[in-house]
Structures are given as C-alpha cells and as structure tokens.
Structure 1
Amino acid sequence: MSMLAGATLLASTLLGAAPARSADGLSSSADALSPSADVPAEFGSDWHDPIIAAPPVTKPSGRSCQVTVAEAQFRDFTPYRGTYTPPDGCGDSWSKVVLRMDGKVKGRQFDRLGHLHVGGVEIFRTSTPQPSPDGIEWSVEKDVTRYSDTLRRSQDVEMLIGNVVDDTYTGIIDVKVTLTFYAGRQAATPDRILTLAEGTDGSGGTTLTTPRNSERIVAEVYATGSGGGCEEYWYLSVPDGAPYSCQADRGPYREVQIKVDGQLAGIAAPFPTVWTGGWSNPFLWYVVPGPRAFDIKPIEYDLTPFAGLLNDGRPHRVEVSVVGVPEGQSGWSTPVNVLVWQDAKSAHVTGKLTAHKLGDLADSSTYTPGSEHRVDTEGDHRLTVAGYVDTSHGRVTTTVSRSLANTSTHRWTDGETTDALDATWTDDETVTVDGRGPARTTRTQRTYTMDGTTTLGAADRLRTVLTLGDRAAVTESVGGRRTAWSRLDDEYAGDATYTVNVPRDQRHAVGTTGERYRIRGSSGCYDRSLSTVQGVLTEDRSGC
C-alpha cells in the first residue's frame, strides 16, 4: 500500500505460516479457548484459520436442498464458467437461500478480490486471506434470498478470483460455492432482479429498462476500491503537491453516486474496507480479518421516486461514479443490480418525481507542511428526492433523504516512516413511504471509523496499531411511532510488529488482534468476542 511503500509492501506479502485447524471461518464458541501456555513468544509457522465474529446466517428447520454453483482453482485471471440449475425437491419458492463459500490456499499469495455472477447478477463479492506455506481454510456464508427470482431459472455462472501464480507467489486459490434452499413459506423478495445493459445511444454508458408496472425500485452497487494503486487505499490519499506517495487531486474524500438520465438519484459513503494485506502488516489479519473483508456488502439506493420516469417502457441511462477519483484513473469496481417490486394488478404504474433538493458538495483537504506533515479533510453532501406512483392500491409517495460527512486527519513524516490516520465517515438515510395507511419511515445511521498508525523504527521493526469500526442504528416507525429498532457495533483492534527486509525466519513477529461484534434490538441480541495472540485464538466468547 502507500504507507511505507515499495520494499516494505513486498516484504509483507512474502510472510506465511500454517494454520492450527480447529474450526472453519464460521466457528462458534464451542471452538474452545487456547490456554495461555500454548501462546508462543512470537509468530511461528502455525496459527489458527481465519475466523470472523459476525453471526452465521440463521437457517430454518425442515426440508432443504443444496446445489453446487462453482468449484474451481484460481491460478490467473481466467474466470470459472458453468451452469446453474435450480434444485429438485424444494419447489421454486423458498423461505431462505444461503450461499456458502469454502476456500483453501497454501504457499505465498496476495489478498485477492473475487465475485460470483449468476445470470449476470452479482450475488457475492469477497476477498481472500493471505495464506501460509502449509495452507489455510476458511468459509463465508451469506443470505441471498433476495435473488430468488434469478435462482428460479437455469442460468450461466461466472466466478473469478483474479490471481497470479509464479515462482514467488505460489498460492492457488481453491474454492467451492454452494446454495442451500429451504422449503417453506416463500420469503418476501423482489419480483425481478435486473442488470444494466450496454447503451445503444453511442455514449458508451449503461441503460435500464424496468417493467412498466414497477412500484418499488432499489439499486445495489458492490463498490470496491481495489486492484492495486492508490484507490485501494483511497482514505490515505492527499491533495496534489503534498509530499506523499498517494496523491489524488483534492484528497481522500470519496462518494459513490448513482444518476438516472444524468440526474443525481443517490449518494453514499463507501465503506473503508481494509483487505488482508492492509496497513503494510499482514500479521494483523492472518486470523481475524477486518470488518466486511470476506463479505462485501452492496450500497443500496432507493430509486422509487424515479419509478414514474423509469416505467415508460424505454431504456434509461444509469451511471455510477465515484467522486474524488483523479480523472482517468482506474481502481474502482461498481457493478449494479436493480431490484424491482411489481404491482400485479396494474399493467402500467404511472408517477412523477416531485422533489429534487441537492446541497452543495463540500470537499476540503488542507495540507500543513512540517517535520510532521498533515492533511485535514472535511466533506459533506445532502440529497433529498421524492416522487409518487399511482398503483392499484392508491397513490404512494416515497421520500428519500441522505446526508454524508467525512472528517479525517492524516499525519506522516518524511519517508513515511511514521504514517497515521484518524477518520470518521457518517451516512444517514431516511426513507418515508406514505400511502394507504400511516406513513412508514426507516432511518438508518451508519458510522465507519479508522484510527491507526504505522511506524518503521530501529532495526527495521515495523509496528502497526489500528482500530476499525462499523456501526449502524436502524429505526422503523409507523405513523411516527417506533415499531422496530436495531444497533450494530462491530469493532476490530490490532497491534502487530515484525522486522522487514529480512528472511522469513528472522521476522520475529508478534501481534494481538481481536474483534467484537454486537447487535441488539427489538428482535433480540448477539454478542461475540474474538482475541488472538501470535496467531493463537485465546478468546472466543459469545453471549448477551
């Protein structure tokens, strides 16, 4: 990455060790705690497989059917291609559909980004852990029930985890992806899942044609800054002219925007994902990855205020862009799915966009030179859109308001031997649906935090101390009265040190890492804590 760039990054990718296999990536508190006597004085060649504190997907009881969607070994950038066929024995309406990816890799390898498409719909995006010489195994689960419309028909499958295997980077990524279908009462899901088509207007853009009776439309964007270069670490970039290895015009403010026919339809703060090679220190991530690293969540935009416009039967131009990326620079992937709910009793749902209030985009990064260089960034943006649709059950008005803010302080010394960032992002969204009964409002307040320092000290000892936070508060109300609520608090903390620019057996690495994932609300609670020391799992505690 940009922090302590060059030789330090290369050295960090050449580290490896083997797992003490006692659990997969979805293990529970039954995995038991490692006694302190088993903790080595420093990292050796054996540590625990990757594990996450987030809860596994809850599964209904009763009959289920499983289908293997992809099984492949990734050695290069050749995608796996196959055919998906719906399961026999569980009907075509399911109470839940659960995706599971099991992976294994050994040797040396970078962290890699991957995706899975079924019928052109991206249903899963992930990244990989960095392996050990003897190999690691991990698993990820995801609820993919919302894609049931796509999964009811035979579809082409494409999966890719882009990889490079040569004399140095020897890790072949071996994965198997299954879908388990649970029979029972059909879950409430979108009627259609659409993807964007190449435009026919010669502009090179993408277009969307919705069913003419669409009454609710939601776009989801799997936005990731990755693929090498500074956009993989966009939160550390500085304005042009500041003496730092990652410069990006104005600085680190990023915002993912979606437009319909050139008009801004949605704004969002991207999640500052840290991949498993991040912050120049792989010892932070060997056992406990950062939040969302294995299950990349899409940004959602409620486009229902634009339904009246989109329902005219013609293709409409839809564009996704990332504010702050220097012109002509790549590094962001923004695949789009569009989820549509239809009015079964109407052939054509008409409507109109009634309000579009866009605030000024504030994006200011100030560079202060000195023995410790400093960039202070402040950014914010607001958007409110409203529109109605005339459905078979009456007029329904949807109002979407979203406000974003970002503050950060980035400090570094000459040569970037000390590099520190303290940053906070907020993304507040309120969606109100008014029609046929009391107004229903959902408010979501998202907060992402990053506070870390990397220091290259005496004897080439590199130390990284880092905390990451993923928080969200959701409140649902009807007629102004709260009906449901939830609070998520996912925090990662790590402190790891090793010697750079020496052979592997001379790294003398030490590190403590941990994650606590808490969620509570009107439907219950979940609380799990993980702690590791030198790659040994020393705590795995669950309970509310």
Structure 2
Amino acid sequence: MRARSVAMLSLSVLFLGVLTPATAVPPPAEFGSDYSDPRTPAPPVAVPHTRHCSVEIVRNGFKNFDPYTSTYTPPAACRGPWSKVVLRLQGSVKGVQYDRLGHITIGSVGVFRTSTPEPSADGISWQVEKDLTSYSPLLRTPQPVVMELGNVVNETYTGIFDIVVTLDFYPTGLGAPAARTAAAVLPLQDQRREDSDLVGTATLPRNTSRLLGEVYVTGSGGGCEEFWDTSAPASTGYSCPDGSPYREVEVQIDGKLAGIALPYPHIYSGGWSNPYAWRPSPAPRAFDIKPLTYDLTPFAGLVNDGKPHEFRVHVVGVPAGQSGWFTVPNLHVWTDPILKQTSGKLTSYSVSPLTKSDDVTGSSGTAGSVQMKASRSLKISGYVDTSAGRIPTTVERSLTNSSVHVWEAGESRDSLEASWRDLSTVTSGLRVDRTDLTYSKNGYISFLPHATIPDAYDVITDLDLADRSHTTSRLGPVTLADRRTADTYDGRASWIYNVPRDQRHATGTQTVRYRSTGTDGCYDHTLTAVNGYYTKDRYGC
C-alpha cells in the first residue's frame, strides 16, 4: 500500500458527453507509453454570466524544492465587490516522475492544496479549479503569493511540473449579487511546530460576531503517516508500525478544546503501490484537497478582547515524536456592522473522551490484523451580543470511525475495510446548518512472486472509494438548502514489479462518478477508463 508511482493520460473524442462506438478508439490490451490526460467527474465551478478578469499568480516549472513567489495585485478592470472568484490551475509534465504535493498561500493564508498526477513519457496535461470566493476579503489588496511544489529532477526522475495558476474575478451584475463572505481571513501569527502540532496566535477584531476555522491537513512527508489508516502496533510486525489507525484533528483555543474533525483518507496518484490504479482519473480529492472546517463562534466572546490568543492544531493518534502532518490553519472572521465592540460568553461545554477499541493479532513475519472502532463527540454553546441583539450558537459534532485491516504472512495480501462519519450541527438563533460527511475505503493489494520471472512480483489492487456528503440549512420550518453528493471510485489494476518498464504488462480499469442532487438541481457524471484510455464519458440527470 505504500509505494508511489509513474504515469497518466490524453483526451478522447466526445459526442454529447458520451464516447460512442463510432468515435471512440478501442483501448489497448495493456498500458503503453501514452495515456489520456487526467480528468475528474466533478462539476465545474458555477459562475455568473458577467464579464470577468483574470490575474495570473503562478507561472513556473517546478524542478526542485525552491518555493515560487510573486505578488498578487487586484484587477483594475474588475474591482470588487465580486460575485465569484475562481482559482484555475493548468499543469503539464512528461517523462518519469513521482506524484508531488503542492500548496498555495496568498498573504500567508492557505487557499489551495493539491497533489499531482504522474506523467507518461510523451507527457500529460491537467486542469483543476476551485471556488475561492470565501477568500475575497483577502484579495481586495495586494498580497504576496507563495507556491510550494517540492520536486526532484535528475537522470532518473526527469519530469518538471509546468504550472500556471490564475484567479478569475466575476463582478456583480444582473442575477449576480455580491458574495456574502467574512469581513477578514487571517492566518495564525508566530507559527511554530511542537511535534505534530501547529501552534500560533491570532488577535481578532474587537467587534467579532462570528468565527470559523479551517485547516488544510494531510498526513504526508513523514513516512508511514501518509498511510495512517493502515497503521498497526509495532507488536504485530507490520511494516507501518504507527500504532492505532485512528487520527483526529483538534483545534484548541488557549489550551481548551474548541473543535474536532476527522481527516480525509487521501490517496495520491502513486498510492497503494499501484500507479496504474489512478491513470487517467485520480482518487477523490487528490487534485483538490479540501480543508477541514470548524465553527468556533461560541468562543467569539472570549477572543475579541484585542489581545493575542493561542490557537493549536493537534493531530490525535500520532505517535510521540512522529512528524509527517502538514497543517495550515486560517480564521474567517465576521464583524458587527455597527458596534466597535461585541461581547459574549461560553454558556455550556461538553466534550466526551475518545472511546476507542483495538483488537490486534499477529507478530513479526506472520499474518495479522487490526480491528478498530472509535467515537468522539462534543456540544458547545455560547452567545455574542451584537447590534442585532444576542445571538446564541450551539455547535454539536460527533465522529465515528471503524476499520478492519487484515494482512497475510509477509504482507503478500493486505486488505482494508474502513468507514468514517463526521456529523456536525450548528444552531444559531432559528437557523440550523447540518453537515453529514461519510467516507469509505474498501479493497486489497496483493504482492506475490511472479510465476516465471525471478525476483519479480505480480502487484494487484482492487479498490472501492467513496466521499459522500449531505448538507442542509433550515430557518425555522423553512428549508433553505438540501444537497447530497457522492464522489466515488471503483478500480482494479495490475502490473509486474521489479522488471524494466516495457515489461510491466500493466492493465487497469476504473470507473469514477460524481453525483449531486438537491434544491440546487441535479448533476451526474461518469468516466470509465480501460488501460489508460477513456471508454465512457456520460452525463446523467
């Protein structure tokens, strides 16, 4: 489950959203030297019909670990207020290269995190877009831009990632009102690391009325922490001995737990020791790594005194002294339009201890297993006195995670069946916002000696992944919004390990689908690929 990878693909001919027998080229019998350009089935960001302006913030070939820096300047021809702001990334790479992780900050605020596909010898290109409207307050003034995409280029790994990133600004107009956002988006100051924790301070406006936190977080760059959901105690002899496979991301304010969330179990384009499983389409979220979000409004009345307050991001479950977690926190702050000073209190505080059980078998060189169940919850209430009166807010959040991880002797077959549920409800006055996130990862990898080639191994993966959400917003008895989404992956791939590239005889099929239904309409897009070439591109609804 651990190695990374090496390739990706080129667009097929489409007709009315479907590859038809008359236009589709039959896929090859196995992977060759070229592949379809990577795509995902996710919908494009919805934008208004107003004219827009583009500002380029990144243009660089990433071939080492030097960060790229530039300066963002607001578009003179599209001064705010804006109805929508969209980040668009265009990437290309060819040759041989691993998948890499990238991150963009604007004014020290993290706005985008991504991973890259792996190239073919002839080269691939891909696009990513993200709705950046919530960062509009940050974009009203010039800001420094930093993009990090660490890469190694040498005689073996030849791929240079050519990246162009633009911001598209859509002004207001008919049917395109100004976006409703926070008054400010702030990074933490004086940041430092303490083991896997990220610690910093923030001095908030004295008239703060609402406070949201977000954390871009991935287990990566620290050995086995990239594969945290298959961790096992050292006593089992498993090759990733990082203890229990449970991870949780806490936000603490002045030493007090203020928010909890489950991290998403990302798989990048070389994951599970099988790069051919992700060609041409990546796993859900691989190209757009979403931040975890926390409603911290019950604490607003405690941190709006004009003094610096400590914010800490702590990853539960990481072994002591183990690094490997990337965390970038931001704060979205709403302020009162009239008052220069708001006030408030924390009125109730209930946080359950983590309940977790691990049933563990195995020892070095033998078959083993870890069966884990965990749960955690909190309920925190507070109020803020504003020019509109006293606004009470109650945040409820419950986390559940279960997994069954089983491996045979020598880890010749390694299987995982895991599920995560992160349910949050925020009640503010008469408004109730509910977000129900569920993730699942089910499948196996086998790594067996090849029947006829000495020292070679047959690698096979078979995986089903799902990233689902159900969000609702209600004002009293009135439903303001109700939306369900499902981003799924179903794939099987095989290749021969420890042979020259032209003798790998790799094969793979994958079907990825994004479905969305609710008060904002219906969207349904399915992509199927065989041996690196798309054979189906179909829209439903």
C-alpha contact 1:199 1:317 (8 A) present in aligned 2: no
**SS at structure 1 position matched to 2:97:** coil
Deviations 1:376-420 (A, max 9, x none): 001110011110000001000010000001000000012111000
User: 1:70 and 1:347, CA in 2 relative to 1: closer, same or farther beyond 3 A?
Assistant: same
Structure 2 residue runs without a partner (length 5+): 451-456
Deviation at 1:22, TM superposition (A): 4.6
Q: 2:286 aligns with which of 257, 271, 293?
A: 293
Q: Report SS of the residue matched to 1:241.
A: helix
Instruction: Give the corresponding residue for 1:238.
Output: 232
Q: The residue matched to 2:301 in structure 1 has which SS?
A: helix
Structure 1 residues 85 and 149: CA distance shift in structure 2, 3 A = same
The alignment's TM-score, normalised by the length of structure 1, stands at 0.93
Contact 2:108/2:144 (<8 A) preserved: yes
2:160 is aligned with 1:172: yes
Take 2:145 and 2:70, find their aligned partners in 1: how far apart are those partners? 5
Deviation at 1:37, TM superposition (A): 5.8
For 2:104, the aligned partner's letter is L
Say whether 1:491 aligns with 2:515: no
Equivalent residue letter for 1:332? W
- 1:507 corresponds to which residue? 504
* Pick aligned residue for 1:81 from 69, 83, 93: 69
- Residue 373 of structure 1 and its aligned partner are, at CA, apart by 1.4
Aligned to 1:440: 431
Aligned match for 1:519, one of 497, 516, 520: 516
**Alignment correspondent of 1:272:** 265
Stretch deviating more after TM superposition (277-286 or 371-380): 371-380
The residue aligned with 2:136 is: 148
User: Contact 2:222–2:323 (CA<8 Å) still a contact in 1?
Assistant: no
Amino acid at match of 1:187: A
Matches within 5 A, 1:62-73: 62-73=50-61
Tell me which residue corresponds to 2:468: 471
C-alpha spacing 1:155/1:36, structure 2 compared with 1 (3 Å) = closer
- Counterpart of 2:370 in structure 1 is 375
> 1:253 is matched with which residue?
246
CA RMSD of aligned residues (A): 1.9
Structure 1 position 359 matched with structure 2 position 352: yes
Measure, in 2, the Cα distance between the counterparts of 1:225 and 1:212. 35
Picking from 520, 525, 529, the partner of 1:532 is 529
Q: CA–CA distance in 2 between the matches of 1:153 and 1:296?
A: 26
Match in the other structure for 1:6:
none
Q: Counterpart in 2 of 1:196?
A: 188
Q: Which amino acid aligns with 1:245?
A: S
Looking at structure 1, the residues matched to 198 and 165 of structure 2 have their Cα atoms a distance apart, in angstroms, of 33
Match for 2:416 among 418, 421, 427?
A: 421
Question: What one-letter code is carried by the residue in structure 2 that aligns with 1:382?
Answer: S
Identity of aligned residues (%): 49
Out of 373, 397, 401, the residue aligned to residue 396 of structure 2 is 401
- Residue 101 of structure 1 contacts residue 141 of structure 1 at CA under 8 Å; is this kept in 2? yes
* Greater shift in the superposed pair: 473-482 or 408-417: 473-482
Q: Cα–Cα, structure 1 residues 28 and 445, in superposed 2: closer, same or farther, change >3 Å?
A: farther
Provide the secondary structure at the position in 2 that maps to 1:50: coil
Q: Is the partner of 1:512 in helix, strand or coil?
A: strand
Matched, 1:111 2:99: yes
- Tell me, in whole angstroms, the C-alpha distance in 2 between the residues paired with 1:29 and 1:87: 36
CA distance, structure 1, for counterparts of residue 15 and residue 286 of structure 2: 19
Secondary structure of 2:78 counterpart:
coil
Between 93-102 and 362-371, the greater mean CA deviation after superposition: 362-371
Counterpart-to-counterpart distance in 2, 1:59 and 1:252: 40
User: C-alpha distance in 1, partners of 2:102/2:407?
Assistant: 32
Structure-2 separation of matches of 1:33 and 1:361: 52
1:186 equivalent in alignment to 2:186: no
Q: Give the aligned residue type for 2:187.
A: T
TM-score (norm 2): 0.94
Counterpart in 1 of 2:111? 123
Give yes or no for contact 1:374–1:411 (8 Å, CA) kept in 2. yes
Whether 1:389 aligns to 2:384 is: yes
Conserved? CA contact 1:498–1:510, under 8 Å: yes
Q: Number of matched residues?
A: 525
Answering whether residue 319 of structure 2 is matched by residue 326 of structure 1, we say: yes
Tell me what 2:425 maps to.
Answer: 430
Cα distance between partner residues in 1 of 2:481 and 2:136: 26
- Which residue pairs with 1:412 in the alignment? 407
Which is further off, 258-267 or 227-236? Answer: 227-236
CA distance in 2 between partners of 1:489 and 1:514 (Å): 13
Are the counterparts in 2 of residues 33 and 540 from structure 1 also a CA contact under 8 Å? no
Which amino acid in 2 is paired with 1:380? S
Rounded Cα–Cα distance in structure 2 between residues aligned with 1:301 and 1:228:
25
1:20 equivalent to 2:10? Answer: yes
**1:319-359 deviation digits (Å, cap 9, x = unpaired):** 00100001111111110110011101000010001111011
Contact 1:198–1:204 (CA<8 Å) still a contact in 2?
A: no
Counterpart pick for 1:308 among 301, 305, 311: 301
Q: Which runs of 5+ in 1 are unaligned?
A: 3-8
With 532-541 and 28-37 compared, the bigger mean Cα shift is at: 28-37
